[in-house]
Structure 1
Amino acid sequence: MTQSHAPPLPSPKERRRLREAKSLSQADVADKMGVTRETVRSWETGRTTPRGSKLEAYVELLTAQDPATTSADTEDRTGVEAEAEAEVTARQEPYTEAEAESSVEAEAEAETDSDEEPAPPPPALTPSQAFDALYAFCTPALVRQTYLLTGRRELARESVERAFQLAWHRWPEVAVDRDPAGWVRATAYEYALSPWHRLRPRHRHPEAPPADAADRALLDVFLKLPPMYRRTLLLYDGVGLDLPETAAETEASTPAAANRLLHAREAVAERLPELAAPDELHRRLTVLAATERLRAAKPRSVRYGSEHRARTWTRAAIAFTVLLIGATSLTLRTAPDHYEPPMAPGATIRGVPPRAASGPLSDEQLELHAFLKSQTVSGPERLVPEAR
């Protein structure tokens, strides 16, 4: 058999540009391709590539009636895009003859057995299994992204674990969300950028910077950006979200997100001119995040930590409620149950002289008091009267 050659696939950056040129969101492409939005995002970031019929349909969707895919434009591509395309094309391993024959046989068996009863659907995942799958898929990249936001390894791991603990606590809500990974990512970013971390004693001691000088310079410039600028730049140039999704995740309007992105790029290009190109900035951010060996806890430990935290807060709430009920009962027990009028002020009674009270001494009394005090002697002589 002859091998089926796959059509040329544009570079990851070109895929995103072609989609935006057609005014399509990742959700629109996912609906037309019959895949999830996370799969489309992985295609545009270069983490995965479509295969077989998906590849042909994806290329046709991107290149249909788009002048940017002509041969003249292909010749004018930059060196970075050409290398990226070559790397992606190298990853697309064609089917071998044995695989092609097995696929044909599988199709023939499916046509033969079309009259039979359909195979039962795969068993549904339990909540813990679904959570573990989401944790295994998101954690490696999310820890590296949070490290770029904060520059602290322990805080990055803690933020991701706390976000997944909250996700497990609210799993019925997260499980039906359109983008569970985005939900967890937004929660981790919010926790990592919280200003309350500055009050922690551990935050006062800086962590060791990256070993490479270029990585240290990039991380230093990146951390000097305002938190919202840093988050917008990471979502757009690091994660690969489009502008409306970046604006939605940062809770800002699309023009505001675009202004933040432009100012952040200008600030980085001013300190590091070699990173003025967005493709080079994306590559350097990816390399910087990948050089750090960051590992998070096991999903079972995260689930146990979430449940333990929920039990602790529940017991604390019950104890506070019992204390409040006890204080209220004690107040009701000791409080007076009838009205006690206050004592009336004293009134003058006619015919009864007021009680005399000692008042201030007059000048004569003060003089006599001083004289007596000066003439007093000790012993029996003081009792003898003197003639005056």
Structure 2
Amino acid sequence: MTRSTTDEAAAPQLPSPKERRRLREAKSLSEEQVAAAVGVTRATVRSWETGRTSPRGRKRVLYAKLIAPEPEALATTTPAAAMTAPDPVPTAPVPTAPETVPESAAEPTPVASAEPAPEAAPEAKAMVVAEADTGTDTGEEAAGERRLSPAGAFDELYARTAPNLVRQAYLLTGRRALARESVERAFQLAWHRWPEVAVDRDPAGWVRAAAYEYAMSPWHRLRRAHRHPDAPPTEPGKRALFDALLDLPPAYRRTLLLYDGVGLDLPETAAETEASTPAAAGRLMTARAAVAERLPELASAATPAEQSALLHDRLGGLARAEHVPVPQPARAVRTGSEDKARLWTRTAVAGVALLIAVTGLTLHTAPTHYEPPISPAERVGGVPPRGGPQKLTAQDLKLQKTLREQLAHGPERLIPQLR
């Protein structure tokens, strides 16, 4: 057994990424405080809590003891930066739907998403196309995994998630063409970065986040085709829900769609929207209140669980009722991504070659020294007559000659004499 294998076996076991975040927030620790205690950046801590990476070595031991539920573990193993009592993180009221909803309603089938939750994603595990170290123990699971080629794994992920992602993007933007374009661009980016996406703990979530980010870009307002949303549904109930969604701010609309539409829990929704759990809870409650003003049956719900289940059904009905465009086949998306990458590569090479050619031509034809330009001749008028001494006469010349021939003697030197 190698040393790295021994170290990995002796390393403490970490809880799931969602549990890591819950434990940190239960201790009122911020991401900055955990990063300072372990000796990493805030982005690294966020990556650990989303499951994209996992700590190793000494950082794994410190991180495991820092978020351990036992209070004495924090005082015995953390550095001095973590031993000081952290300031409490301000909290917001968290909706009670995830805790009070029954099992049948707490985990509804996602409205517009066929991807499984990150904890139960056998299809996502089957996406692994080569032996890779992902920071998790997959020895027993690797024996039963279904090995696919990169193209086959991508096509399976695309066929499983693309149609529902288009419906989600339509609810997010209200534009059918933009919804299809967002999903296709997200999958093109996923194929371009497939070695990273293939080993991700939730490939469908990775693509969903990329599609949402592209769909919510404010630059689409400058495009004439996407400047205004499409015509709303004709049915009054669906029209009211459609208008209520579009009237919400983009961040609130995304939070509502992920929690009540897709079916993510609150920590996962907060992680995907890059917000804290209290902030995500506040957005969700505000969005529900705004939608309830348009939908009387939603406002009359007795409990938050009933309100969440009713909103889930209404979002699902709106997504299924609208005829959104079908995305292109997976092969077309893959070839489009490859063609685009090839085009950009050729364009970059051609630009560099053109720059080198222009520079060489300039160096070859440029003069080696500066020659000031000669001004063209032109007639000048109004010049005064030439001044100065006049022409010498014959008498003046004779006197000049005499003075030059004779030596000029000055007065004799005066010598003082004594008397």
**Which bin holds the TM-score, normalised by the shorter protein?**
0.5 to 0.7
Q: Establish whether residue 165 from structure 1 lines up as the match of residue 165 from structure 2.
A: no
Structure number with higher relative contact order (C-alpha < 8 Å, ≥ 6 residues apart): 2
Contact persistence 2:18–2:268 (CA under 8 A):
no
Contact 2:18/2:267, CA 8 A, preserved across alignment: no
* 2:298 is equivalent to residue 275 of structure 1: yes
Question: 1:183 offset after TM fit, Å?
Answer: 0.6
| CA-CA distance at 1:195 after TM superposition | 1.3
RMSD: 3.3
- 1:347-384 Cα deviation digits (max 9, x unpaired): xxxxxxxxx953499xxxxxxxxxxxxxxxxxxxxxxx
Match of 2:248, SS? coil
Cα displacement (A) at 1:173? 0.9
Q: Aligned equivalents of 2:165 and 2:17: distance in 1?
A: 20
Equivalent pair of 2:237/2:295 in contact (CA under 8 Å): no
Q: 1:305 & 1:280 partners in 2: Cα distance?
A: 40
8 Å contact from structure 2 (residues 183, 211) kept in 1: yes
1:192 and 2:215 equivalent? yes
Letter in 1 for 2:349: I
CA distance in 2, matches of 1:182, 1:160: 12
Shift of 1:310: 1.1
**Paired AA for residue 270 in structure 1:** E
3-state SS in 1 of match to 2:148:
coil
| Counterpart residue number, 2:327 | 296
Residue 284 (structure 1) aligned with residue 284 (structure 2): no
1:365 aligns with none
Q: 2:243 aligns with which of 220, 229, 235?
A: 220
Q: Which runs of 5+ in 2 are unaligned?
A: 1-14, 20-99, 110-142, 300-306, 374-378, 385-419
Post-superposition Cα deviations, 1:219-276, rounded to whole Å, max 9, x if no partner, equal 0110111111111111111111122211111112222222211211121122323223
Match of 1:322 in 2: 353
Q: Which runs of 5+ in 1 are unaligned?
A: 1-23, 29-76, 89-119, 344-355, 362-388
Structure-2 separation of matches of 1:278 and 1:121? 37
Partner of residue 102, structure 1: none
| Higher helix fraction (1 or 2) | 1
| 1:7-31 alpha-carbon deviations (Å, 9 max, x no partner) | xxxxxxxxxxxxxxxxx97866xxx
Aligned partner of residue 208 in structure 1, secondary structure: coil
Task: Please name the residue that 1:308 is paired with.
Answer: 339
Deviations 1:105-132 (A, max 9, x none): xxxxxxxxxxxxxxx8676210011111
* Aligned residue identity for 2:317: V
**Within-5 A mapping of 1:18-167:** 124-167=147-190
What count of residue pairs does the alignment treat as equivalent?
247
Q: Distance in 2 between matches of 1:181 and 1:121?
A: 21
- The residue that corresponds to 1:333 in the other structure is 364
TM-score when normalising by structure 1: 0.57
Distance change in 2, residues 1:309/1:240 (3 Å): same
When residues 131 and 249 of structure 1 are mapped into structure 2, their CA distance, relative to the original with a 3 A threshold, is: same
Equivalent pair of 2:256/2:287 in contact (CA under 8 Å)? yes
**Does residue 180 of structure 1 match 2:203?**
yes
Separation in 2 of the partners of 1:310 and 1:186?
Answer: 21
- Name the CA distance, whole Å, in 2 between partners of 1:254 and 1:285: 23
Kept in 1, the 8 Å contact 2:244–2:291? The answer is yes
- Residue 398 of structure 2: aligned partner: none
Q: Could you tell me how far apart the structure 1 residues matched to 2:201 and 2:353 are?
A: 41
The equivalent of 1:348 in structure 2 is none
- Could you tell me how far apart the structure 2 residues matched to 1:157 and 1:224 are? 21
Q: Which amino acid aligns with 1:250?
A: T
| Residues in 1 aligned to 2:279 and 2:146: alpha-carbon distance in whole angstroms | 45
8 Å Cα contact 2:186/2:210 also seen in 1? yes
Structure 1 292/332 Cα, relative in aligned 2: closer, same or farther at 3 Å?
Answer: same
Shift of 1:204: 3.9
Query: Deviations along 1:72-99, whole A, 9 cap, x unmatched?
Result: xxxxx99xx79969x99xxxxxxxxxxx
Q: Relative to structure 1, is the Cα distance of residues 206 and 229 closer, same or farther in structure 2, using a 3 angstrom cutoff?
A: closer
Distance 1:319 1:25, change over 3 A: same
Query: Match of 1:214, SS?
Result: helix
Cα shift at 1:299 = 0.9
How many angstroms apart in 2 are the aligned matches of 1:26 and 1:241? 14
Contact map agreement 2:184 2:333 (CA 8 A) in 1: yes
Q: What is the TM-score with the length of structure 2 in the denominator?
A: 0.53
Percent identity of equivalent pairs: 65
User: Tell me, what secondary structure is at the counterpart of 2:231?
Assistant: coil
> For residues 136-184 of structure 1, what are the alpha-carbon distances to aligned partners after superposition, in whole Å with 9 as ceiling and x for unaligned?
2211221111110011111111111110011011111110111111110
For 2:270 and 2:358, the matched residues in 1 are separated by 49
Kindly tell me: are residues 303 and 357 of structure 1, through their superposed partners in 2, closer, same or farther at Cα, counting changes over 3 Å?
Answer: closer
Give the distance between the partners of 1:83 and 1:185, measured in 2 at CA: 25
Q: CA 1:205/1:236 → structure 2, altered by over 3 Å: closer, same or farther?
A: closer
Q: CA deviation at 1:201?
A: 2.1
The change in CA–CA distance for 1:312 and 1:357 in structure 2 (over 3 A counts) is closer
